[in-house]
């Protein structure tokens, strides 16, 4: 394109290029959400009769049950995110700084391979490993550590294992990205000036990797919060996840109004948590998104 072309032509081209993305946003994200919002402010008074009301949101605040599930989901997701970060950091450090060339690529591939199979299959794999008649409990008996095979499935800790495993890659990638750009000379200089390992980590590595850490945490937190399969399959008789509650309202209770309201509450929760996370770590959203 040359500068001599009229202005409107350039604008038209820009509009055309943006059109698919904008249409996608409008038709598949904005419109359904507007509809869902309208549904969430409805209440069924008689068969096929609905009135506008705040009843759905009221139920959420007055029924302690839903509150508890909501808070539980948020807390477990936060714990899962923290554990994922703790496990992913050394992995990312090894890939970015210690391993060289092909070995680094190989390590990265190892992180990626579990994602070649679908989430369902991965989760079912965990079930086969952990169930009472499964691989790990019988192995523990063989080693003589326990007398009867323990049931490792259906606990909250099992959910955490599944969630961390599922989200590991989404933490490793942004961490590797942000650690790779860290100049080794800075670390060496810090050591030369007499800093210890912890001080280097605290004052040089973490501040440099902060956008990557925040990006990874945001992605992992959102993925865990919205996960349906893992808590459902690995969780026990008491483990309600908020997404499960939304599914139940929509599908088994035919209560779309309540389900829609729950959906918006979950959206509000994830938005708030991301905002709080950004404020607490002093990051700007745009910087973080560039890194992820």
Partner 1 sequence: MRRIAYTAFAIAIALTSAMAVADDAKRLRIISWADYVPAEVIAEFQKETGIKVEVTLSNNEEMISKLRATGGAGFDLAQPSQDRILGAQQEFRIYKPIDLSKVQVAEFLPDLIETVRKNASLDGKLYALPYVWGTEGLVYNAKKTKIADYTDLCRADLKGKVAVRLKRPTLMAFAFASGKDPFALYGNVKAYSALMDEVGKTLSACKSNFRFFYDNKDQLLNGVRSGEISAAMMWDSGGWNLGRENPDIHFINPKSGAIAWLDTFALPARGKNDAGAYAWINFTMRPAVAAQIAKQIGNFTASKGADALMDPKLKAQFAATFPDGLKNVRWYPAIPPGLEEIEGKVLDRIKAAN
Instruction: Provide the binding-site residues for partner 1, judged by CB under 8 A.
Output: 47-48, 63, 65-66, 68-69, 131-133, 151, 154, 236-238, 240, 245, 248-255
Cα–Cα distances in angstroms (integers) from residue 244 to residues 136, 137, 166, 225, in the given order: 28, 28, 18, 11
Identity of the residue, 5 or 132, whose beta carbon is nearer to partner 1 in the bound complex: 132
Identity of the residue, 179 or 229, whose beta carbon is nearer to partner 1 in the bound complex: 229
Identity of the residue, 43 or 180, whose beta carbon is nearer to partner 1 in the bound complex: 43
Identity of the residue, 129 or 204, whose beta carbon is nearer to partner 1 in the bound complex: 129
> CB 253 → partner 1: shortest distance, Å?
4
> CB 65 → partner 1: shortest distance, Å?
5
Identity of the residue, 212 or 235, whose beta carbon is nearer to partner 1 in the bound complex: 235
> CB 146 → partner 1: shortest distance, Å?
16
> CB 136 → partner 1: shortest distance, Å?
15
> CB 270 → partner 1: shortest distance, Å?
22
> CB 247 → partner 1: shortest distance, Å?
10
Identity of the residue, 177 or 249, whose beta carbon is nearer to partner 1 in the bound complex: 249
């Amino acid at each position: 394109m040359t500068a001599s072309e009229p202005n409107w032509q350039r604008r038209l081209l820009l509009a055309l290029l943006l059109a698919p993305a904008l249409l996608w946003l409008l038709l598949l994200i904005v419109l359904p959400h507007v509809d869902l919002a309208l549904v969430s402010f409805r209440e069924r008074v008689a068969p096929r009769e609905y009135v506008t009301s705040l009843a759905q949101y009221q139920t959420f605040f007055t029924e302690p049950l839903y509150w508890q599930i909501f808070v539980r989901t948020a807390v477990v997701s936060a714990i899962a995110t923290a554990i994922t970060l703790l496990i992913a950091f050394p992995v990312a450090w090894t890939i970015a700084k210690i391993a060289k060339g092909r070995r680094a690529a190989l390590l990265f591939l190892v992180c990626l391979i579990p994602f070649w199979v679908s989430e369902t299959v991965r989760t079912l794999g965990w079930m086969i490993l952990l169930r009472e008649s499964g691989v790990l409990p019988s192995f523990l008996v063989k080693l003589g550590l326990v007398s009867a095979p323990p049931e490792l499935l259906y606990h909250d800790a099992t959910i955490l294992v599944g969630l961390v495993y599922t989200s590991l890659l989404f933490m490793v990638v942004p961490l590797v990205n942000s650690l790779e750009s860290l100049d080794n000379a800075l670390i060496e200089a810090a050591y030369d000036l007499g800093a210890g390992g912890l001080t280097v980590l605290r004052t040089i590595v973490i501040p440099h990797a902060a956008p990557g850490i925040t990006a990874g945490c945001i992605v992992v937190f959102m993925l865990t919060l919205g996960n349906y399969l893992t808590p459902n399959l690995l969780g026990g008789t008491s483990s309600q996840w908020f997404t499960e509650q939304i599914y139940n309202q929509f599908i088994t209770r035919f209560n779309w109004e309540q389900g829609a309201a729950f959906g918006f509450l979950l959206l509000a929760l994830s938005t708030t948590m991301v905002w709080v996370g950004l404020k607490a770590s002093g990051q700007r959203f745009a910087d973080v998104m560039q890194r992820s």
